[in-house]
Amino acid sequence: MEQKISNSVEAEEVKRELELKNGIRSILKSERHYFRFPEFQVIINLIDGLGEFLILTGKNVSVDIIRNVLKIKDPKFIEVPFCELGN
């Protein structure tokens, strides 16, 4: 489910809703950079103390895009939430 947040008041409401539903598992400080392409979006997520992460979103995102379009020869994939990486 993708949710568009238009302002800081709305962001706080979403944050409170998620906290009530899931609790707070961890607080991470990060910086994100967004790049849009015709078929997908690239998000570079720089998380303090954990590293740099590349997130691809789109309808037909595949390993081929990572290897052939972005030229990353040996990508590593994570399958856990960021807050579990330091454990």
Which tens digit of pLDDT belongs to each residue from 70-79? Answer: 898 888 888 7
Asked whether residue 1 carries a pLDDT value surpassing 60, the answer given is: no
Which tens digit of pLDDT belongs to each residue from 19-48? Answer: 888 887 777 888 999 999 888 899 999 999
| Burial zone of 69 (CB within 10 Å; 0-12 exposed, 13-18 middle, 19+ buried) | middle
The dihedral sign for the CA sequence 52, 42, 59, 11: positive
Record the pTM. 0.61
Q: Where are the domains of the chain?
A: 26-84
Assign 87 to helix, strand or coil.
Answer: coil
For residue 33, the cross-strand partners are 44
